[in-house]
Structure formats: C-alpha cells, structure tokens
C-alpha cells in the first residue's frame, strides 16, 4: 500500500473499533463506571497499571479494586490510612501485590493533596509533541514517599527506554475526546497531538507488517519511530490509530 492507501485502510479500522462496543471487552470499562473526574482518573490509573496478561483477569481484578475502594476511588484515596490496609489482604495481579497497591494508594493520596492531582502532575512537563518526559517526571513525584524498591517496576520510565505502554494507554483515555464514547477526554490541559501509541505485541506486530515500524523491540526507541510514522498520517490525533493497530492484531489476527 502507498501512504494514501495505508491512511484510508487505517481510518476504516479506526471507525470499526473506536466504538462503544469496544468497551465491553476492554479494561477501560472500569473507569467508565464513574462520572466524577477524580474517580475516573484514579480507577483508570489503577486498572491501566495492572493491564497486562489475560484481559478477563485484568477486568476481574479491576472490579476487585473497585470493591476495595467501596466504589468511591477518590474518597477512598483521600481518606486512606493504616486502618484500611487489611482491605488489601490477598490482592494480587501477576507481580503486582497488596504491598504495591498499598503504596499506590498513599502515592495517589499525596498527588491529590500536595500536587493538585494527576492531570496537574502530567501536564507540568508536557512537550509540544510528546508526553514521555512528563511520564519520567511523574514517576519521580509518584515515588517521592518511602517505598519498597520493587514497587517502582510498576511505573514505567521512557528515559530508561521503556515504551511505557500502560501509562500511554491511560493518557489516551484521559486526553482524547472524539465523541465516540470510548476515551474520556477529561484533561483539557493536554491535547491528542502530544500522545503516544500504547505499544504492545498487537500494535507493534501490525505496525511492522504495515511498514510503520522497523525496530524489532517494543521499547522507547520503537515508540519514537512509530510516533513519527503516525504523526505523518494525522499530526493532530495520531493516537487514534491505536484502535486500528490493536484491533487488527487482537481481533483480526492480522
């Protein structure tokens, strides 16, 4: 396919998958249970954090997270204290366990009480066409409290050559708003042009087959390469092609 044909092909797939029905099998269904901005942010950040592995397991553990928080994420985080730690007993998703979750609650509490919330932290270091520096600086803020070293692995850092798939996915949820009913678009301080594709085995594999990506590893360098290719197709909303790339890989075995 030439560049025009490729763009038309991907645009068709965006229209196919960027639909409310996409929510039914996706972890984004967890924050879609809320209307309050802070509830959406917190539940979205937590479910994005554990969004690796079996999707059914991710969603089931997302529901368990909501139950732990009494289905009021913001209130729970604001008031989280030692008396609530027993509620986390036995929580585990892959390598993310109750100790990690406990710190995440304290870190989120600190971000909302001392730093103006998640949107404020991510927007402070935003660049014109990238949020990868923002993710790096966010991780510094997130781990400014005493914590177990092992917990750091659950927040990726692009500066250390990570593609930061799960955080980029979370940012897509918060920033994009194209009235399709999938992404929330509740962060007005950032724009879709700054977003990067949540690069994973599905989107990366399809991108390589379509000639959008040559690098073999799914790392920060590959993400930069894919970003450049997608921005040529649509500089204002390059991340919309995530729906096409992921859908082709996950649902069509392209």
HEC per residue, 120-133: HHHHHCCECCECHH
Q: What is the pLDDT of residue 254?
A: 85
Q: What is the pLDDT of residue 201?
A: 92
Count up the domains in the chain and report the number: 1
C-alpha R_g of the chain: 18
Whether the predicted pLDDT of 179 surpasses 90: no
Q: What is the pLDDT of residues 48-88, one digit of tens each?
A: 999 998 999 999 999 999 999 999 999 999 999 999 999 99
Q: Are 89 and 54 in contact (CB under 8 A)?
A: no
CA distance 66 to 72: 7
Q: What is the pLDDT of residue 94?
A: 95
Q: Whole domain around residue 41: which residue ranges? A: 3-250
Q: Are 203 and 246 in contact (CB under 8 A)?
A: yes
Considering the chain, what percentage of its residues have pLDDT values greater than 70?
100
CA distance 135 to 251: 29
CA distance 41 to 98: 20
């Amino acid at each position: 396919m030439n560049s025009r044909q490729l763009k038309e092909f991907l645009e068709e797939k965006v229209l196919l998958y960027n639909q409310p029905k996409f929510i039914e099998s996706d972890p984004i269904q967890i924050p879609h249970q809320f209307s309050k901005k802070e509830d959406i942010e917190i539940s979205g950040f937590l479910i994005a954090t554990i969004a690796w592995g079996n999707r059914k397991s991710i969603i089931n553990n997302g529901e368990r997270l909501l139950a732990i928080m009494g289905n009021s994420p913001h209130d729970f985080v604001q008031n989280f204290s030692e008396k609530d730690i027993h509620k986390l007993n036995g929580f585990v998703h892959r390598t993310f366990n109750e100790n990690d979750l406990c710190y995440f609650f304290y870190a989120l509490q600190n971000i909302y009480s001392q730093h103006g919330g998640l949107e404020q932290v991510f927007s402070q270091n935003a660049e014109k066409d990238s949020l990868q520096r923002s993710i790096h600086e966010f991780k510094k803020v997130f781990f400014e409290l005493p914590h177990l070293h092992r917990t750091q692995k659950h927040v990726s850092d692009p500066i250390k050559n990570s593609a930061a798939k799960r955080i980029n996915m979370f940012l897509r949820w918060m920033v994009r708003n194209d009235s399709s009913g999938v992404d929330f678009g509740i962060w007005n301080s950032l724009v879709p042009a700054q977003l990067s594709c949540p690069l994973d085995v599905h989107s990366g594999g399809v991108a390589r087959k379509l000639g959008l990506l040559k690098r073999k590893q799914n790392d920060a360098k590959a993400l930069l390469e894919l970003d450049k290719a997608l921005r040529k197709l649509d500089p204002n909303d390059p991340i919309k092609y995530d729906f096409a790339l992921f859908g082709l890989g996950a649902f069509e075995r392209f």
